[in-house]
Structure 1
Amino acid sequence: MIRLLVDVAARHLLARRRQSIVSLLGVVLGVSFFLSISAMMRGSEQDIIHRLVDNAPHITIEDDYRNPTLQPVSQLFPDAAVQLRHVVPQTETRGIRGYAQILDFLRRTPGLRASAVLSGQALASFAGKDRAIGLYGIVASEYAQVSTIRRYMVRGSLDELEANPNGIVIGDELARRMSLSMGDNLRIASTTGQVRTFKIIGLFHTGRSDFDAGQAFVALKRVQSMLDRPNRINTIVIKLADPNAARTEAARIEQRVRYKTVSWQERSEDLMSALAIRSVIMYAVVGAVLVVAAFGIYNVISTVVLEKQRDIAILRAMGFQARDIEGMFLAQGALIGAVGNVFGIGLGCGLMAGLMRIHFRVPGSTDVNYLAIDWSLFQFVLAGGVAMLAAMIAAYLPARRAAKVEPVDVLRGGT
C-alpha cells in the first residue's frame, strides 16, 4: 500500500512538472542557504570561543575579594546611631599572600595547571622613544603550560628567561614601533620609580596589535623587585583539561582560597549573550527561506487536490480510507523535501567549500584571515530536518482537505 501511495504521489507531481520543479528549487536553495549560512555562523562562533578559551586563562584568581572587607568599626557597631565617615583603610602592599601554598593546593587537582603572575604598568624607553607597556612577571616554565605565548614566538624563546633573568620578551609590533631588534637593551621604568635595563631575548607575534605593542614578559623575581612587592603576585592563571568545567571549578577554588576567582564564562558573559542573540537572528533569517519554499509546496499540492477531486472520490469509492488519501498527499511533500534535501545539501557543500576559500585582512592587521566553517554532522541534520519539517507541514493542510472529500458528493456533482 505504501508503495502504491508513493507511486501515485510521484505521478501527481510529474503531471505538474513545471510547478513541481519550482517548488523543488525552492527547497534546494533553502537547504543550501540554510546549511551554508548556519555553518558559517556556527563556525565563526566556535572560532571566537576557541580563541577566547585557548588564548586566555580558563580561570583567574585575582588579588581582590568578591565582597569588600568591612571596616572594624562597621563590624563592631553595625547598628550604631553615629556614623563614621571618611574612614581610610590601612595602607598595605597589594597582592596574593601565601601564593606558594595556593599553587600547591591547585596543582593537587587532576587536570589543572596553574602559574603565578605579577603584572603592572611600566614605561619602556629606547633611543628617545617612550611607550607605556604592561609588564608581566612570570616563571617561564610554568607560564608556558597555561598560555599559548610559546606558540607565537617568532624569534628567541620564552624559556630563555630562566637562563637570563635580565632578559625581556616583547611583541614584534613594539619592537617595530621603537626600532628595536634582538639583543638590544631596553630600559624599563616601573611605577615605583625603579629603572632597570633588560636585554631583548625574544619576540612574539599574536596578530593582536594592542597585545603585540603593549605587553612584555620578564622573570617574576625582577618584576617583584621593580614593583616593590617581594614574595607577592597579583594573579594566578589556571588552565583546565575541560574548559566547560571552569565555572564550577572557579566557585570551588574561591570558596577555598577566598580571593576573587573568575571563570572565562563569567568574564565573557556579554560576549556569550551576544553570540546567543546572533544565533537566534541567524536561524530566524535562514529559516524564513525554507518557509517561503514551503508555500510553494503548499501551492502545488493544493492545486493537485483541487484538480484531482474526482480521482480522490473514485479512490475512496474503491475502498481507500481517509488516512490513505492523506498519506498519499503527505508523500508528495515528503518526496519534494527528500529530493530537495539531496540536491540542497550537495549545493550547500559547494557553497561551504567556496566560503572557506575567501580570505581577507582585518584593518590594522597584516595577518590573512579565512572564514571558519563548521562541517559537523549537526549542521547537515539540522538543515535537512528543518526542510523536511517545513515540507510536511506545507503538505499537511491540503492532505487533510483531500482526506475529507466525500465520494458521494463529488460523483453526484454536489461539489
Structure 2
Amino acid sequence: MIEFFIAKKQMLERKKQSILSIVGVFIGITVLIVSLGVSNGLDKNMINSILSLTSHINVYSPENIPNYEELVKNIEEVKGVKGAVPTIETQGIIKYEGHGEPYVAGVKVVGYDLDKAIKVMKLDDYIIAGKIDVDDKKSILIGKELAASMGAMVGDKVKLITSEETDLEMTVGGIFQSGFYEYDLNMVLIPLQTAQYITYSDETVGRLSVRLDNPYDAQELIYDVARKLPTDLYIGTWGEQNRALLSALTLEKTIMLVVFSLIAIVAGFLIWITLNTLVREKTKDIGIMRAMGFSKKNIMLIFLIQGIILGIIGIILGIIVSLILLYYIKNYAVDLVSNIYYLKDIPIEISLKEIAIIVGANFIVILISSIFPAYRAAKLENVEALRYE
C-alpha cells in the first residue's frame, strides 16, 4: 500500500513534530486512565469503608422490633440477601483510667448479634488484635484509633456509661480497624444481649442490619425485602442515607474527567497542526503526485494514515505506561499517602470497558483532527499545487 509508505516517510522526515504529537496523545491517555483508576478505587474504598460495619438496607421502627428472629428468617429468604443482623444502637461514654490521666470520650455503642455479624458481615476480618468472644457478655470491641487515643490494650478494663445512665465495667476483648476513621475513633461494639440489658430493651432490637451480596443492588432489593415485613416497619438503603456523599463523588468524578479530557483535545490539536503544516510544506509534492495519477482519495488517505498512526502509537504507549503506573501506585506508593489519608493501601479500580471508552473517545478526536488537514490536501488541484513555491 503506497499511501502507507509515503505517510511513514513524511513522519520520519518531521521527527520532532511527529514525536510531539505522539507525546500529546500519550499524556492524554495516561492521565485519563491513571486518574480514573485511582479515583474509582478511592471512591469504592470510601464506600466499602462506610459499609464495613453498617448495613446495606436498614429495617427499623420508632419503637423497638419484637419477634425479630422470625423477621430475620423471612428477610434471608430474599434472593441476593446475605443475611440480617439484629442490632441495637445507643450513645454512651467510655472511660479508661489506665496508668495515667483518665480518658473519657463520647462513643456510639452498637450491639450486634455477634454470631450473625461474624457470618454475615465478616466482623472477625476487621479484628487486628485480640478476638471476638461471643460467650463473654462483658467483652467490648474498640476501634484502632480509639485504642490509640486511650492507650488501651486487649485485656484492659474500661467503664461504659450509656445514655440510659447504665454503668458497666467491660474488658477490651479485641481491637478492630474498619478502614473508616470515624468508626475506628468513635464506635464500640458489644454483644446484643449486653446492649439489650443496658438499654432496657428486653427481647427486642432497635433495627435489623440487612447485608446484600452486592450493596449496589440495594435499591432494587428493597422492594423484595419490604414485602417480607409488616407494614408498620420502615426501610431504607445505604444510598439514601449517604445521598449527599454519593452526589459529591459523582460530581467530583465528572469535573475531573471533563478537565482531563481537555488534554486529549489538545493532543488532537497538535496532530491537526502537524498535518496542516505538512500540507502547506508538501503542496508542490502533492501537485506532482496528482500529476502522476494519484487521486484525491489517495492524497487524503496519505495524510489520514499519518494522523492515525501518530494517534495509535500514542494510545498504545499511553495504555502501557498507565498500567505500569497503576501497578506501581497500588503496590509501592502507599507510604507516600498513608500519613495523609486513612488508607492501608491505595485501591485501584478500572475496567476494560472504561479503558475502551477512553481509547475510543481519544481515537475519535484524533480521527477528526486528521480528517480536516487530509481533506484540505485532497482539495488541492494539481495545477494550483504545482504553481505553489
Give the TM-score category using the shorter length: 0.7 to 0.9
* 1:41-65 per-position Cα deviation (integer Å, ceiling 9, x unaligned): 233233333334445321111224x
Equivalent AA in structure 1 for residue 237 of structure 2: S
Structure 1 residues 364 and 308: alpha-carbon distance in aligned structure 2, compared to 1, 3 A threshold: closer
Task: Find 2:176's aligned residue among 192, 204, 209.
Answer: 204
Task: Tell me, yes or no, if structure 1 residue 272 matches structure 2 residue 246.
Answer: yes
Q: Which moved more, 1:8-17 or 1:191-200?
A: 191-200
1:49 maps to a residue whose letter is I
Report what 1:109 is aligned to.
78
Structure 1 residue 350: Cα displacement: 3.9
Secondary structure, aligned partner of 2:196: helix
Q: Which amino acid aligns with 1:29?
A: I
Normalization by structure 1: what TM-score?
Answer: 0.81
Residue type of the alignment partner of 2:160 = I
Correspondence list, 1:327-406, <5 A: 327-356=301-330, 357-358=332-333, 359-360=335-336, 369-374=344-349, 376-406=351-381
Aligned mates of 2:50, 2:182 — CA distance in 1:
16
Aligned partner of 1:170 in structure 2 is: 142
Matched, 1:191 2:163: yes
For residue 260 of structure 2, the aligned residue among 286, 295, 300 is 286
Note if contact 2:78-2:225 (Cα within 8 Å) is conserved in structure 1: no
Q: CA–CA distance in 1 between the matches of 2:155 and 2:278?
A: 82
What residue identity is the alignment partner of 1:292? V
1:122-174 CA distances to partner (integer Å, 9 max, x unpaired)? 2334445543322222221111233243112133322x13x222333333444
* Aligned partner (choices 188, 194, 199) of residue 227 of structure 1: 199
Q: What SS does the corresponding residue of 1:57 show, helix, strand or coil?
A: coil
Match of 1:239 in 2: 211
Aligned match of 2:120: 146
Structure 1, gaps ≥5 residues long = 65-93
The separation in 1 between residues aligned to 2:96 and 2:319, in whole angstroms, is 59
Alignment deviations for residues 340-368 of structure 1 (CA, whole Å, 9 cap, x no partner): 22333333334334433222456698x66
Kept in 2: contact 1:57–1:264 (CA 8 A):
yes
SS at match of 2:310: helix
* Residue matched to 2:58: 60
Identify the residue that residue 87 of structure 1 maps to in structure 2: none
Q: Note if 1:7 corresponds to 2:5.
A: yes
Residues 225-254 of structure 1: CA deviation (Å, up to 9, x unaligned)? 221222221111111112221111113323
Q: 1:387 to 1:317 in 2, by over 3 A?
A: same
Q: Aligned with 1:186: secondary structure?
A: strand
- Which of 259, 262, 280 aligns to 2:236? It is 262
Residue in 2 that maps onto 1:39: 37
CA distance in 1, matches of 2:302, 2:340: 60
Q: 2:93 — aligned with what?
A: 123
The 3 A distance-change label for structure 1 pair 410 and 152 is closer
Residues 186 and 49 of structure 1, relative CA distance in 2, 3 Å threshold: closer
Match of 1:91 in 2: none
Partner AA of 1:335 in structure 2: I
What CA deviation, in whole Å up to 9, does each residue of 1:66-90 have, x standing for no partner?
xxxxxxxxxxxxxxxxxxxxxxxxx
Residue 332 of structure 1: how far off its partner (Å)? 0.9
Letter in 1 for 2:346: L
**3-state SS, counterpart of residue 188 of structure 2:** strand
Same amino acid, percent of matched pairs: 24
Q: Secondary structure at the match of 1:206?
A: coil
SS of the equivalent of 1:108 reads: coil
Task: Tell whether the 8 Å contact from 1:247 to 1:266 is kept in structure 2 after alignment.
Answer: no
CA shift in 2, pair 1:56/1:319, >3 Å: farther
Distance verdict in 2 for CA 1:63–1:315, change over 3 Å: same
> Is the 2:49–2:180 Cα contact (8 Å) retained in structure 1?
no
Give the AA of the match of 1:381.
A
Q: 1:352 to 1:393 in 2, by over 3 A?
A: same
Partners of 1:39 and 1:379 within 8 A in 2: no
Cα shift readout 1:260-313 (whole Å, capped 9, x = no counterpart): 222222222222222222222222222222222222211121122223333333
- Aligned match of 1:18: 16
CA separation of 1:198 and 1:53: change in aligned 2, threshold 3 A: closer
Q: Structure 1 206/381 Cα, relative in aligned 2: closer, same or farther at 3 Å? A: same
Q: Secondary structure at the match of 1:234?
A: strand
* Amino acid aligned to 1:262: G
TM-score by length of 2: 0.86
Q: Distance in 2 between matches of 1:319 and 1:282?
A: 50
Inter-partner Cα distance in structure 1 for 2:10 and 2:237: 60
Per the alignment, do residues 341 and 235 of structure 1 end up closer, same or farther by CA in structure 2, a change over 3 Å counting? same
* Alpha-carbon separation, structure 2, partners of 1:136 and 1:374: 32
- The Cα of 1:408 is off from its aligned counterpart by 4.3
How far, CA to CA, are the matches of 2:106 and 2:42 in structure 1?
33
Give the number of equivalent residue pairs. 380
Checking the alignment, whether the CA contact within 8 Å between 2:65 and 2:207 is kept in structure 1 is: yes
Task: Give the distance between the partners of 1:252 and 1:154, measured in 2 at CA.
Answer: 36
Distance 1:183 1:372, change over 3 A: closer
The reply to whether residue 98 of structure 1 matches residue 96 of structure 2 is no
> Cα distance 1:105–1:295, how it changes in 2: closer, same or farther (>3 A)?
same
